[in-house]
Structure 1
């Protein structure tokens, strides 16, 4: 990860909002506040700095795990190095482990870019994040362009961390990806009562680490004790949502993503998994908008 002595920060502000970006640390977000209140978990500096300690990071050119980092694509066998040890799988692509460049920025907007040259992932690509602060929230546009010579499996997403406190969530979940064993889900089922988030659920009462399909693109998070609500609206390209509510942690995650885990190895059709195939020069893009309201 990035050398802590060289870690750069880019701060965007409006009257009510403040966004801190950490381009060197996987193009991560370091913090997002509304009227000085944390909307995302603030970055805590540690000796071993990682995007896993930030307020959120991008997922390119895929999200979730690829089983043991292996898959076949158009008669090409691909083997990715595990990047979340001690797990044997590859997870979330390469961009979150790389330094990004600031392509442009102003007082309330910035564009970060990452150009990947083929290594174990055999396709060149460009990943982009366009951040724009509003007085009541944040718009984030994600773009992935295939710069390789042939078609590339593709996906994208965003991995924000929200402060737990007294939070409750409402997510229009439809079905949930499940596995009989291990970390690689391979079947899509109706969620059990404990995983049904279609009405308000208190985060402290949940124990989830699952990918869901969603029937609508609006998810809500509330902190009654702070009288704050976040409405997160995702483009239809982001037809999946990963919900992670680890016990005894001060955060939880509601992650808009384009596809199911291990989609490249799935026996299900791409219409169900959400996996894209990008031709050379083609771009996949999707927007996520956070709007903060007082309740």
Structure 2
């Protein structure tokens, strides 16, 4: 285990997997399989995060306000975005609770203030198991009243021209001009990856529901593939593909829809009473991509 100075980074290794993690946001800073990167450091305020935890919920809150159980709550912007975004965990410095050559566990606690009304304790364990990177995230309501909580992971996967994605969903949400979900409907053909296909060369920032919590990514140029599995509360996902960057895409398992505070049934956000907790696990298992016979 090597611990850096400036960003308190720790290197985890097991077999062909090597992962650097940081106390800042309990984030993955780099991840390689057989010395080939499969995550890209492109997220966070300074672009150094290859994956970060979204907690006590992900994405944005319309109008920086919500109403719950007959009471109004306010948020303030926590980045240059006008809307409060991705919770607080990714911006905070987490405590390192446990560490070995193959795993690290972090915790982060926060009290309600003018930025957010949430008081909570969150933990993230980052573990290497075989050829898999396993991230387990939990959040516990440490406040005095019940509030709707959520969580999610925000990985930045490597994108190459021949990257193929396989993932199935029953429902798709289109996007409003303010990047919040608009209306649900059938999955459009361009965004239907049930049978696996190349990523579209277009802007994409959409939520999906009704998936089996499985996905597969193949990088023919790199000779590797990944099998993603979500467990626990992570029963929705986002796909984000910017047009100004062609080196990554984001497949984000989440427990809820963006802007769930303003959607029916809170978009999947879970009302947690004081002391109650929510847990989600994401596993990314790497393997060599089988060599295809010539002519195919």
Same fold (TM over 0.5): yes
The residue that corresponds to 2:9 in the other structure is 9
Count of residues in correspondence between the two structures: 283
Alignment partners' CA distance in 2, 1:223 and 1:105: 31
1:250-265 alignment to 2 at 5 Å? Answer: 250-265=247-262
Q: Secondary structure at the match of 1:198?
A: strand
Q: Where has structure 1 moved over 6 Å in runs of 4 or more?
A: none
**2:144 is matched with which residue?**
149
List aligned pairs for 1:159-198, cutoff 5 A: 159-165=154-160, 166-198=162-194
User: 1:239 Cα deviation (Å)?
Assistant: 1.2
Contact 1:217 1:236 in 2 (8 A): no
Q: List alignment gaps of at least 5 residues for structure 2.
A: 290-296
Residue 219 (str. 1) matches residue 215 (str. 2):
yes
Matched, 1:114 2:113: no
What is the SS of the residue equivalent to 1:57? strand
Partners in 2 of 1:126 and 1:91 — Cα distance?
Answer: 18
68-77 or 91-100, larger mean C-alpha shift = 68-77
* 2: CA distance, partners of 1:203 / 1:84: 29
From 262, 287, 292, the equivalent of 2:281 is 287
Secondary structure of the residue aligned to 2:287 is strand
Answer yes or no: is the 8 Å Cα contact 1:31–1:43 preserved in 2.
no
CA distance in 2, matches of 1:246, 1:43: 12
Counterpart-to-counterpart distance in 1, 2:234 and 2:187: 19
- Give me the whole-angstrom Cα distance separating, in 1, the residues matched to 2:90 and 2:176: 29
Other-structure match for 1:93: 87
Name the CA shift for 1:35/1:106 in 2 (closer, same or farther; >3 Å): same
- Which TM-score applies when normalising by structure 1? 0.90
Q: Deviations over 1:133-172 (max 9, x none)?
A: 0231111111000111111210000000011123111111
TM-score by length of 2: 0.90
Instruction: Indicate conservation of the 8 Å contact 1:123/1:149, yes or no.
Output: no
Tell me, yes or no, if the aligned pair for 1:12 and 1:20 is still in contact at 8 Å. yes
- Cross-structure match for 2:265: 269
- Given the superposition, is the C-alpha separation of residues 52 and 152 from structure 1 closer, same or farther in structure 2, using an over 3 Å criterion? farther
Q: Which runs of 5+ in 1 are unaligned?
A: none
Shift in CA distance, 243/51, structure 1 to aligned 2, threshold 3 Å: farther
DSSP-derived class of the 2:109 partner: strand
Contact 1:56 1:160 in 2 (8 A): yes
Give the equivalent residue in structure 2 for 1:205: 201
- 1:71-127 CA distance string (max 9 Å, x none): 112232211111242x42111111111111101111101101111111132231011
Question: What value does the CA root-mean-square deviation take over the aligned residues?
Answer: 1.9
Task: State the SS of the aligned residue for 1:62.
Answer: coil
Aligned to 2:39: 40
Taking structure 1 as reference, are residues 143 and 51 closer, same or farther at Cα in structure 2, changes over 3 Å only? farther
Q: Does 1:137 align with 2:140?
A: no
In structure 2, C-alpha distance between the alignment counterparts of 1:51 and 1:154, rounded to whole Å: 26
Q: Does the 8 Å CA contact 1:155/1:275 hold for their aligned counterparts?
A: yes
